[in-house]
Amino acid sequence: MTKNKSKGIDFPVTCSPRGACPRVSRAHYKTWDRCDLTFVELAQDTAVAGVTTRSRCPSPEVEWCRHALQHGKARALVVNAGNANAFTGNRGRNAVEAIAAKVSDHLDCEPHEVFIASTGVIGEPLPIDKAEAGLDAVFTADAARWKDAARAIGTTDTFPKGATASAVIADTTVQISGIAKGSGMIAPDMATMLGFVFTDAAIEPALLQDMLNRAVAKTFNCITVDSDTSTSDTVLLFATGKAGNSPLAAMDDAGADAFAAALEAVCLELAQLVVRDGEGATKFIEIRVEGAESGESARRVALSVANSPLVKTAIAGEDANWGRVVMAVGKAGEPADRDRLSIRFGATQVAENGLAVDGYDEAPVAAHLKGDNIEIGVDLGIGNGHATVWTCDLTHGYISINADYRT
Amino acid sequence: MTKNKSKGIDFPVTCSPRGACPRVSRAHYKTWDRCDLTFVELAQDTAVAGVTTRSRCPSPEVEWCRHALQHGKARALVVNAGNANAFTGNRGRNAVEAIAAKVSDHLDCEPHEVFIASTGVIGEPLPIDKAEAGLDAVFTADAARWKDAARAIGTTDTFPKGATASAVIADTTVQISGIAKGSGMIAPDMATMLGFVFTDAAIEPALLQDMLNRAVAKTFNCITVDSDTSTSDTVLLFATGKAGNSPLAAMDDAGADAFAAALEAVCLELAQLVVRDGEGATKFIEIRVEGAESGESARRVALSVANSPLVKTAIAGEDANWGRVVMAVGKAGEPADRDRLSIRFGATQVAENGLAVDGYDEAPVAAHLKGDNIEIGVDLGIGNGHATVWTCDLTHGYISINADYRT
C-alpha cells in the first residue's frame, strides 16, 4: 500500500440508508478551496448512540454530544473540518451553541437533537460567522453523495473513507452505512477520531448504544497510528427507523445478532481505512496476540507492539528485526514468560519458546515484509486470551506531515 | 544541538576513582573496527548497587546481575557492545556464565563478583569464542582512558558520555565518575540502557542501593527518547572504598547527604547526555509539570507529553503547535481540569485557564523554538505535585537510523 495505491481504495457507499441525507458546503475554515462543512439531515425520531474520547481535555463539541446523547434522539449532524475548536474556552462553547441554535431553528427541533463534531487544529476558536455562513449555504445545497461528505469531513486524509453493509431483521432488509476521517492523532482505548454510521433500521436507543459499544471495542478501539489521542474523537451511530422493521429492543430479538454483526463489519472497515490512511503509512500491519492471560491483556500487549516506534520503523525499512517485537512484548508490563514466547511474521515462525527457531531462514520473512499487508503473530503461551489490533508503519512521511502541520 | 555540535560535548572524566581501572579490547561482535569489549577491574571488597529493566523479556545479563547483586560485592564489570544477547535461551545464558567463569579465574574471585552487560541487536546469541578472545586481549591490555571505555560501550551513540563529581565525607574527598550509553530504545520508569557509576567512597551496600534508587528515580527514570524500553537496561554503581573515608551506613551519617547529591548530579548528567544523543535528535526538550495531584501524576503527564510523536515532530519543525501539548495532557489519563490548564513555551505563557492567553504573540515562542534547548511548562492548577522529564525531538534522522538498523 502506498499513498498512490491507497487513493485507489474503493468508496462503497452508493445508496443512502433511508432517512439520512447529506449535504456539504464551504465554510472556509482554512484558506483552502474545498467543502469543509457537512450537514446530515435525519428523519424525525432517529435514535442515536455514541462514544467519545476519554481525553481529559475534550473539545466543547465532545461535551455537547455527551449531553445530547442523554436524550437519545437526533435530527441532524454537523461536522466542521479544519478547526477542532478544542481548548477554546467560552468562545468555543458559544460557537457550538450557535450552530445548534441555527440548525434547530431551521429544522424546528430541539437543540439537543443536533449533533456536532469538529476536527483540525487545536486552540483556535471556531469562527461563528464562518460557521453560520456555511450553514446558510448548506441548508439550500443539493443532496450530496456520501463520498463528498466523507471528503468534506477529512483533514490530512488522502482518500474518503466509507463502508456499508446490510442485515435482515425479520424479513426487512436494513442498510448500515458509515463514513470516517482520521490519519494522525489516532490512538486506541478511547474511541477514535470521527466516525459516523447511519442505518435505516428501527432500534431502541439503549440497545443501539450497547451494540455500538461492543462494535467499537473490537474495531475503532483496536487501531493506532501514532499513540496520540485526539481531543475530539467521536463515533456516532444514527438509526432513522425508516426501513420499517419492528423496532429492535434487545439482543435476543430476531435480527439483532445479524444487525450487530453487520454493524461491527462496517465499523471494522472504517477503522481499518483510518489505519491504511495513517499519516505517512506505506504498510498496513495486523498484530495478533494469542495465549495471553486475558483478552484485555492480549490487547495491551498487541498495542505495545503496535505503538513501538522501533517496530514500526523496522517494518517501514522492510527489516525482519523481530527482536524489537520481543522488546515491545517485554515492555508492555503484562503477564508474560520470555521462555514460552513465540513470534511469527506472516506464515513464518521466527522464534519459539524464548529463542529463534532452529535453522531460522529469513528469506520468507523478508519476502513477506516487501508486501503491503504485514502480519505479526505473538503467542505468549500462558493462557487463552487473544486480541487483534491494526496499525501502520512509521516513515519519513509522518515526520514531514507533522513537523510543519500548521503552515 | 545538532549531531555535529553534539560531538563537541565535553567528556569530563579525567581522573579515576581509586580502585577502578578500565581496559578495552576488540571482540569483533560486529564487522566493525573498534573496541567493543570493556573490562573494569575493581578493588577487593567493592560494594555494588544496581537497577535493571522492568521488561518481562530481560536479557540473561540482566538476570545475572540481579542474582549477583544479592551478594553486594564486585570485582569486575564486563560490557559487550554490538550484541544484546537477549532472547537467546540457553545459549545466551551459557555465554554469560562462560564470561563470569573466565573473569573469576583470572581475578581469583567468585563468579558472582563479575557483573556483565551487553547491548546491541536482540535475538542473536553472544558468540562465546569472540567473548573469550576479547577477554584474553583485554586482560593484558594497558589501562584505558574512561573516554575510551565510554566509546567502547556505545552502539548508535554519536559521542562518549561521562560525568564526574566529588563529595566530602568527614574530611575525605571522594570521587564519583560514571559512563553511559544509549540513544534509542530509551524509555522511562524501568531504569534505562546502560549506565555505570564508580566511586572510591566506602559505603555499605544497603545504603548504596538506597542512594542509587533515589538518584535513578529523578534522573534515568525521567528520560525518554522513543518510549521503547530495552531488554537490557542496567545501571550499576560500584563503591571501591579506596578513598579511605569511614564507611557510610545510613543517610544521617556525616557526608551521606553530600554524597547522595553528588551521585544524583552524576546520574542526571549521564541521563541528559543520553537524551542529547537521542537517535536523530536535533533539540533537547525539558518538560516541567506543576500543579498536579501528586508528583507521580505530574511525572505521568510529563511523560505523556515527552512521548507524544505529534509534540516531538512539531518541535522538530520548530512549530509552536501548543495544541498538541493540550492533546498529550488530555490523553495521559491523570486528574486534570481543562479549564485550569496553563502552558508555557520557554518564558512565554501561551495558554491559561483553558484557552490561549489574550493577545497571544507567537513571535517569542517561535524564537525559543529555533534554539537547541526547548522548555515546555505545564501547570495543571489542581494540586502541588511537580516533576521534570527530558526528551528530544522526533526527526527524519530517527526514521533513517531505525528503518534499517541491522544492515
The model's pLDDT over A349-370, given as tens digits with 9 standing for 90+, comes to: 999 988 888 888 889 999 999 9
- At residue A3, the pLDDT reads 38
pLDDT(A79) > 90: yes
Do B327 and B179 fall within a single domain? no
- At residue A35, the pLDDT reads 97
Residue B341 with chain A: CB contacts under 8 Å: 57, 87
3-state class of A282 per DSSP?
coil
pLDDT(A194) > 80: no
Active site residues of A: 192
Do A228 and A289 fall within a single domain? no
Letter for the amino acid at A151? R
Do B267 and B301 fall within a single domain? no
Reading the block at residue A243, the C-alpha cell is 426501513
pLDDT(A4) > 60: no
CA distances from B140 to B83, B108, B133, B296 (A): 23, 16, 12, 48
Pairing of strands A342-345, A373-379: antiparallel
Domain boundary, last residue among A276, A300, A323: A276
Tens-digit pLDDT profile for residues B151-191: 999 887 888 888 888 888 888 888 888 888 876 665 544 44
HEC readout, chain B? CCHHHHCCCCCCCCCCCCCEEEEEECCCCCCCCCCCEEEEEEEEEEEEEEEECCCCCCCHHHHHHHHHHCCCEEEEEEEEEEECCCCCHHHHHHHHHHHHHHHHHHHCCCHHHEEEEEEEECCCCCCHHHHHHHHHHHHCCCCCCHHHHHHHCCCCCCCCEEEEEEEEECCEEEEEEEEEECCCCCCCCCCCCEEEEEECCCECHHHHHHHHHHHHHHCHHHECCCCCCCCCCEEEEEECCCCCCCCECCCCCCCHHHHHHHHHHHHHHHHHHHHHCCCCCCCEEEEEEEEECCHHHHHHHHHHHHCCHHHHHHHHCCCCCCHHHHHHHHHCCCCCCHHHCEEEECCEEEEECCEECCCCCCHHHHHHHCCCEEEEEEECCCCCEEEEEEEECCCHHHHHHHHCCCC
Q: Does an H or E element contain A388, and which?
A: strand A385-392
Do A238 and A357 fall within a single domain? no
Most confident of A131-145, A256-270, A304-318, B391-405: A131-145
Strand positions, DSSP E, A326-384: 342-345, 348-352, 355-356, 373-379
Do A311 and A237 fall within a single domain? no
Q: Closest to B316 (Cβ–Cβ): which among A309, A326, A399? A: A399
Contact across the interface for B404 and A87, Cβ inside 8 Å: no
Q: Give the contacts of B284 (CB within 8 A, at least 6 positions apart).
A: B1, B272, B275, B276, B372, B373, B374, B390, B392
Domain boundary, last residue among A236, A259, A276: A276
Tens-digit pLDDT profile for residues A211-267: 888 888 887 777 777 767 777 777 778 888 888 888 888 888 988 888 988 888 888
Q: Closest to B330 (Cβ–Cβ): which among A56, A89, A324? A: A56
At what angle are helices A323-331 and A309-316 packed, to 10 degrees? 160
User: How many CB atoms are closer than 10 A to CB A396?
Assistant: 17
CATH of the domain at B323: 3.10.20.340
Do A330 and A384 fall within a single domain? yes
Tens-digit pLDDT profile for residues A168-187: 888 888 888 888 887 666 55
Tally of domains in chain A? 2
Residue A56 with chain B: CB contacts under 8 Å: 329-338
Tell which A residues from 83 to 142 touch B, by Cβ distance under 8 Å.
84, 86-92, 121-125
Do A69 and A153 fall within a single domain? yes
* Listed residue (B293, B304, B302, B290) closest to B379, CA to CA: B290
Do A292 and A237 fall within a single domain? no
Percent of chain A with pLDDT over 70: 93
Domain boundary, last residue among B230, B253, B276: B276
Do A185 and A36 fall within a single domain? yes
The domain in which residue A369 lies consists of: 284-403
Pairwise CA distance, residues A358 & A324, whole Å: 19
Do A159 and A211 fall within a single domain? yes
Please identify every stretch of chain B with a pLDDT value under 70, giving residue numbers as ranges.
1-8, 183-193, 227, 232, 404-407
Tens-digit pLDDT profile for residues A365-398: 999 999 999 999 999 999 999 999 888 999 988 8
Q: Closest to B86 (Cβ–Cβ): which among A231, A321, A326? A: A326
Do A142 and A257 fall within a single domain? yes
Nearest CA of chain A to the CA of B92: how many Å? 9
Residue A355 with chain B: CB contacts under 8 Å: 87-92, 123, 125
Do A195 and A64 fall within a single domain? yes
- At residue A191, the pLDDT reads 45
Is B231 a residue of the active site? no
* Bridge partner residues of A248 (DSSP): A203
Letter for the amino acid at B49? A
- At residue B185, the pLDDT reads 61
A188 pLDDT band (50/70/90 cuts)?
Answer: very low
* Listed residue (B331, B173, B312, B295) closest to B243, CA to CA: B173
* Bridge partner residues of B387 (DSSP): B289
Mutate which of B83, B396, B402, B405 to disrupt the A interface (most A C-beta within 10 Å)? B402
CATH of the domain at A59: 3.60.70.12
What's the pTM value of the predicted model, to 2 decimals?
0.78
pLDDT(A102) > 60: yes
- At residue A5, the pLDDT reads 40
- At residue B189, the pLDDT reads 46
